[in-house]
């Protein structure tokens, strides 16, 4: 979209960025681009950028006046949707307000793209006042914004179940023999099933799945669920990997190689033997973790699954749904 001819030739520009990744990336992008633009951390909770709307940004207009800026650029980790799909940025016709969504800039090279967009929007007369984005790039950016590793700290009961069940299996000769008898493709399949079951259990038992009809457009609701499932799934994969390492080391410490060889009918024992035991025991533990996750419905899990801005949006949506039902 071409810039409006009514744009002033010189403007005072400021940035309001959601706390966390958006604020950090905005500062880094400005530094890399050599731009000196003030960055203030803040969140516009009422912002819901869908269709051709810039959202209800009354607070942004107040901030323009209070900071003495001519143009406010809001950097957020919420998606921005246009008539043809997701947008990466959009500016109002009068040039007073622009919105940039960090996830739509992807993962690799994201700060470089953000620097280019901010440089464009900070110019007195931007050459472009809107930019489109690919759905896949937005998807990957939203997963990054959720920071899957943060969820690990909220899965205490899952870790306990994996450790208890998996550790228990290390002491049983039948588990040792079964771990060696199972082929690698079958073991990989069992692992995928275990990861999938735990992921689905965490998503459903903690109310992380949303009806697509609650978002506009509907594809954004489907994208939300895909991002949620990926965020939780990646965390479960990390749990699985940590379990394999821990239980393999535990098996190596507890079970002497000679005794293990005797139980395996004289088969040679090496590092791979212990890895198989740790791997198989972890798969059993993760399946037990899926059961335990049904009893771990903590708000901490919901808040750890999403970035702070998305947590706030979902709380507002949940409150509105409750009031509508009443």
If asked whether residues 296 and 181 sit together in one domain, one would say yes
Beta bridge partners of 16: 40, 74
* Total of domains in the chain: 2
Q: Bigger pLDDT: 278 or 161? A: 278
For residue 244, is pLDDT > 80? Answer: yes
In tens, the pLDDT along 167-225 reads: 888 888 888 999 999 999 999 999 999 999 999 988 888 888 887 766 667 787 888 88
User: Above 90 in pLDDT, residue 127?
Assistant: no
Please say which residue of 90, 122, 141 terminates a domain. Answer: 141
Please give the pLDDT value at position 73.
92
Same domain for 119 and 225? no
Give the pLDDT of residue 323.
Answer: 54
- The average confidence (pLDDT) of the chain is 82
- Give the end of a domain, one of 141, 167, 201: 141
Contact in structure between 286 and 202 (CB atoms under 8 Å): no
Residue 197 and residue 272 in one domain: yes
Does 296 score more than 80 pLDDT?
Answer: no
From the list 295, 251, 297, 258, the residue with the least C-alpha distance to 274 is 251
Q: What is the CATH number of the domain that holds 109?
A: 3.40.50
End-to-end CA distance of the chain: 44
In a shared domain, residues 187 and 204: yes
- Residue 244 to residue 37: CA distance in whole angstroms: 48
Domain boundary among 110, 141, 172: 141
Task: Say if residue 137 is in the same domain as residue 181.
Answer: no
Query: Looking at the domain assignment, is residue 6 inside a domain?
Result: no
Residues 23 and 172 in one domain: no
Q: What is the pLDDT of residues 88-125, one digit of tens each?
A: 888 888 888 889 999 999 888 888 999 999 998 888 88
> Is the domain of 115 the same as that of 210?
no
Contact (Cβ atoms closer than 8 angstroms) between residue 17 and residue 42:
yes
Residues 105 and 31 in one domain: yes
With bands split at pLDDT 50, 70 and 90, how would you rate the model's confidence at 317?
A: low
Residue corresponding to tokens 């821990």: 246
- Domain ranges, residue 264: 147-321
* Listed residue (153, 113, 193, 96) closest to 298, CA to CA: 153
213 and 303 within one domain: yes
**Which helix (H) or strand (E) is 316 found in, with range?**
helix 308-325
Residue 272 burial (CB count, 10 A): 11
d(CA 120, CA 90): 11
For the ranges 43-52, 53-62, 202-211, 242-251, the lowest mean pLDDT is seen at 43-52
- Lowest average pLDDT, out of 263-267, 276-280, 296-300, goes to 296-300
Nearest to 206 by CA among 240, 229, 238, 234: 229
Q: Do 48 and 155 have their domain in common?
A: no
Same domain, 131 and 201: no
* Co-location of 245 and 302 in the same domain: yes
Percent of the chain scoring above 70 in pLDDT = 81
Give a yes or no: residue 48 inside a domain.
yes
């Amino acid at each position: 979209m071409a810039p409006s001819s009514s744009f002033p030739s010189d403007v005072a520009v400021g940035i309001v960025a959601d706390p966390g990744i958006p604020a950090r990336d905005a500062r880094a992008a400005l530094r890399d681009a050599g731009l000196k633009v003030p960055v203030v951390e803040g969140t516009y909770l009422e912002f819901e950028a869908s269709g051709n709307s810039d959202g209800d940004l009354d607070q942004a207009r107040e901030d323009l006046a209070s900071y003495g800026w001519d143009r406010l650029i809001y950097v957020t980790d919420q998606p921005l949707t246009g008539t043809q799909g997701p947008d990466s940025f959009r500016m109002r016709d009068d040039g007073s307000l622009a919105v940039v969504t960090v996830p739509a800039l992807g993962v690799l090279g994201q700060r470089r793209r953000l620097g280019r967009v901010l440089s464009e929007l900070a110019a007195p007369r931007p050459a472009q006042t809107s930019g489109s984005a690919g759905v896949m790039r937005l998807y990957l950016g939203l997963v990054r914004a959720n920071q899957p590793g943060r969820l690990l700290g909220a899965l205490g009961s899952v870790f306990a179940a994996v450790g208890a069940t998996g550790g228990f299996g290390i002491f049983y000769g039948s588990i040792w023999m079964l771990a060696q008898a199972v082929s690698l493709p079958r073991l990989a399949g069992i692992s995928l099933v275990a990861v999938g079951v735990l992921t689905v259990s965490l998503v459903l038992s903690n109310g992380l799945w949303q009806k697509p009809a609650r978002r506009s457009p509907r594809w954004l609701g489907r994208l939300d669920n895909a991002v949620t499932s990926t965020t939780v799934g990646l965390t479960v994969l990390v749990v699985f990997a940590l379990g394999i390492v821990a239980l393999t080391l535990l098996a190596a410490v507890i079970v002497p190689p000679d005794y293990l060889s005797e139980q395996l009918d004289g088969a040679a024992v090496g590092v791979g033997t212990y890895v198989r035991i740790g791997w198989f025991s972890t798969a059993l533990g993760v399946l037990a973790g899926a059961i335990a996750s049904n009893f771990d419905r903590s708000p901490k899990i919901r808040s750890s699954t999403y970035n702070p801005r998305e947590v706030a949006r979902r709380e507002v949506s949940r409150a509105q749904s409750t009031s509508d039902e009443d």
